[in-house]
Structure 1
């Protein structure tokens, strides 16, 4: 019964719900197949499936939470066997775990939980900082293009601000086959950033149909699903999907970077969504792109605005990188913490 409120545990965590349980509490669940050696803990009745072992009966003098912390320190993965690695029950029974007095077990549990809690709090604080800075970028985009902010800017027809590359190239021919290829799926949603680790050459992707050629003077805009706001400023020469427009900025009235902000703005997005072709895959055609009217400040003001936005994004990137490092270090910290605990060093 998937509508029940009893957790169903797989080899490494909850995988569903059931109306019945088969355990007492607390229960330790050990990954038998799949996530071999993963250890989970539940303080409520549950239903571990056959990819796991579980412990719900404990000898006198054993604190269940201490045992939960002790098992990962044994590196159960070394007991995995077979073409589809799994752990045999008899091998787990043969484990020899030094057991300190019960009071010492409880002291270790308290200390490990306290240090883990502090580390988790630090990680959450960094996560919140990333969210706030990312939110600030979106908030600034909204504010920048409000009528009260743009009232004294000059109005332009989009066709006077940018052109769109015409004519396609064959990605099977050189030099295009060796160039990096950009499609909508390698551009972040609403960020203006390329996901460079996902970009491959046209040859690697075995592309055949016609593509657009671009260089580092263009702005790339995804014409499909405009609500996703996929815009990029490539710093290389390459080809892009026919689902994208390489835009050529008119440098007399707009900088490349500011044009990207215009395309990311809520105002342009609302226009593009409202005027896109109404089919299964909404698409913005060329006439719609050229039909947009926008207000632009002087070039010097555009440069100031772009500098501010880039500073916000740069700070967000720094904290996001730190957050990624913190997550990795937290994993190491937890392992080291348990190792120290069971060497009697806490």
Structure 2
């Protein structure tokens, strides 16, 4: 067991108002994912974005370099001692959205998160776990998508029956 801060460090995003953004292809990440675009990045690729204010504790994977704003933290290879993809799943498992500081706007307190005890295996094991979880979560996501499509078909069928009954 170790403290999370000995495995990774969550870095504060930078202030970047909508007015200060310059046209570009770089995704801007806030606490809930992509919130716009900008001309330059402040993260490496890939990166983990962790909501700090608003959608505090939400964990998002960023495949390309991005600009993390001050409503979120980010983790990239500069601040992670292990496999970044393993670390993404580790952060999800910590359910950081349950760690909240309610000072008007609910938020994630970085020091509390950094002091959480975590179990971190050696690097080869981290990589195996990340590959396994990528494969399994992709399968589960595919099943969820199929069920959602089936639910939509059933909703339309239900509406069709109601309309046919009332309209003849």
Task: Calculate the TM-score normalised by the size of structure 1.
Answer: 0.38
Does 2:128 align with 1:260? no
- Describe how 1:72-221 pairs up with structure 2 within 5 A: 72-81=92-101, 82-130=103-151, 191=160
Determine which of 83, 87, 95 is the counterpart of 1:67.
87
In the alignment, is the contact (CA less than 8 A) between 1:192 and 1:260 conserved in 2? no
The unaligned stretches of length 5 or more in structure 2 are 1-20
CA RMSD of aligned residues (A): 2.7
The match for 1:29 is 49
Question: What is the Cα deviation at residue 191 of structure 1?
Answer: 4.8
Q: Which has the larger radius of gyration?
A: 1
Determine which of 29, 36, 39 is the counterpart of 1:9.
29
Helix, strand or coil at the partner of 2:87: helix
Deviation readout 1:48-74 (Å, 9 max, x if unpaired): 1111011122444x0000000001212
Helix, strand or coil at the partner of 1:118: helix
Question: What is the Cα deviation at residue 126 of structure 1?
Answer: 2.7
Q: Take 1:83 and 1:128, find their aligned partners in 2: how far apart are those partners? A: 39
The match for 1:196 is none
Question: What is the Cα deviation at residue 107 of structure 1?
Answer: 1.2
Question: What is the Cα deviation at residue 2 of structure 1?
Answer: 6.5
The unaligned stretches of length 5 or more in structure 1 are 138-187, 194-230, 232-255, 262-346
Q: Take 1:13 and 1:19, find their aligned partners in 2: how far apart are those partners? A: 17
The match for 2:40 is 20
Helix, strand or coil at the partner of 1:85: strand
Helix, strand or coil at the partner of 2:70: coil
Task: Calculate the TM-score normalised by the size of structure 2.
Answer: 0.73
Question: What is the Cα deviation at residue 85 of structure 1?
Answer: 1.6
Deviating 4+ runs (over 3 angstroms): 127-135, 190-193
Q: Take 1:93 and 1:52, find their aligned partners in 2: how far apart are those partners? A: 15
Q: Take 2:123 and 2:99, find their aligned partners in 1: how far apart are those partners? A: 28
Question: What is the Cα deviation at residue 27 of structure 1?
Answer: 0.9
Does 2:61 align with 1:41? yes
Q: Take 1:78 and 1:124, find their aligned partners in 2: how far apart are those partners? A: 27
Helix, strand or coil at the partner of 2:113: helix
Helix, strand or coil at the partner of 2:73: strand
Choose between structure 1 and 2: higher strand proportion. Answer: 2
Question: What is the Cα deviation at residue 47 of structure 1?
Answer: 0.9
Q: Take 1:192 and 1:4, find their aligned partners in 2: how far apart are those partners? A: 49
The match for 1:320 is none
